[in-house]
Amino acid sequence: MNQGSVGIAVIGTGKMGADHVRRLTHVTSGAHVAAVVDLDHARASALADGVDGCTAYTDPAAAMDADGVDAVLIASPGPAHEQALLDALARDLPVLCEKPLTPDAESALRVLKAEQERGRRLIQVGFMRRFDSEYLQLKELLSRGELGRPLMLHCRHRNASVHDYFTNEMLINDAVVHEMDCARWLLEQEITAVSVFRPTANSGAPEGLSDPQLVVFETDAGALVNVEMFATCGFGYQVQAEAVCEGGTARIGEGHGMLTNRAGRWGGDITQDFIGRFAEAYDRELQRWVDATREGRTTGPSAWDGYAAAAVCEAGVTAQATGRRTTVDMIERPAFYR
């Protein structure tokens, strides 16, 4: 693979999977899509027809066994991830798995065990914010220690709207999970407890959805992280963070692109979805994964990061349902992932 193009099987051909097929075909260098997989064979075939040399499958294991498949990208729904990951590990195939690693901590532990039994890291989890230019800049600043010890992290996560089927649990598992990973990565601390507060619900939220919510994380080094999760703000998509340290603060995500002045008003545009906001991050994430795969190594968020997020999510859902501060139940980090 060092000399040739990496053949990738993309599992899941929904919005995310289809976008990754486009990215691998037209943006990423050193890779090509060799197979696509979906239970809906017609949808998979329609996507494969637009990619030279790509074959459609309904069975992930069959795609992994196909000639020319060197790696796997999992973009299917979370409940299907565990089996696909175990199948890939059994074949010694590198994997980029969109979050969640698996839907719960127990199944994530089974994946950790299987990967450790292989003797080397093969899994990268798709927490794409770690590849965003602003988040990378903030991470570098904090790592240099120029602002001193971080004390707090203020986060805002806003979405214009969500589907009618969106639930309170999904606010934690599908949205706030990104802040869980970012907080762990930026601060280099584990989250030990979660509290969830619910103000008066937005009248524009789907029935049964208590939105917005304020989520608070405590870390093992004494830092506090608060997340404003507002999934139905109505005006656009915003992801922002501010680190408050002993010697200063740093803020990202303001989205100040071009500003215009006209007709007595000034302003700019607000991105409307996550794909638009993090397009560059997705591009960088896949390119670095492909480059690492060609070199026989694994980089980026590990299966341990996926497990940690699942454990914090479980505490978050409990805190959300009970209104009580909930401690995070996690195993000690194995030496394999240090």
| 58-71 pLDDT tens trace | 999 999 999 999 99
> In this structure, is the dihedral angle defined by the CA atoms of residues 50, 52, 58 and 60, taken in order, positive or negative?
negative
Pair 141, 135: CB distance under 8 Å? no
Q: What is the pLDDT of residue 4?
A: 79
Beta bridge partners of 292: none
Six-digit token pair at 88? 């890939």
User: What mean pLDDT comes out for the span 308-331?
Assistant: 98
Q: Is the pLDDT of residue 31 over 60?
A: yes
How far apart CA 193 and CA 216 sit, in angstroms, is: 8
123: exposed, middle or buried (Cβ count in 10 Å: 0-12, 13-18, 19+)? buried
Q: What is the value of pTM for the model shown? A: 0.92
Q: What's the pLDDT tens digit per position in 211-264?
A: 999 999 999 999 999 999 999 999 888 999 999 999 999 998 887 555 656 677
Query: For position 257, what pLDDT does the model report?
Result: 57
Contacts for 145 with CB less than 8 Å, ≥ 6 apart: none
Question: CATH code for 130-274+309-337?
Answer: 3.30.360.10
pLDDT value, residue 2: 44
Higher pLDDT, 287 or 279: 287
| pLDDT of 78 higher than 50 | yes
Q: Is 90 left (phi over 0), alpha (psi -120 to 50) or beta?
A: alpha
Predicted pLDDT at 271? 73
Helices and strands (H and E) in the chain: how many: 11, 15
DSSP assignment of 93-159, as one string? --EEEESPSSSSHHHHHHHHHHHHHHTS--EEEE-GGGGSHHHHHHHHHHHHTTT-SEEEEEEEEE-
**H or E stretch covering 45:** helix 41-48
Residue 314 CA to residue 191 CA, distance in Å, equals 12
Residues of the chain with CATH 3.40.50.720: 6-128+280-302
Q: What is the mean pLDDT of residues 59-87?
A: 97
Q: For residue 51, what pLDDT is reported?
A: 94
Residue pLDDT, tens place only, 95-119: 999 999 999 999 999 999 999 999 9
Indicate where the chain has its CATH 3.30.360.10 domain(s).
130-274+309-337
What's the mean pLDDT when you consider all of the chain? 93
Instruction: Tell me how long the chain is.
Output: 338
Q: Specify the CATH architecture of the domain 6-128+280-302.
A: 3-Layer(aba) Sandwich (3.40)
Mean pLDDT calculated for residue range 48-58: 95
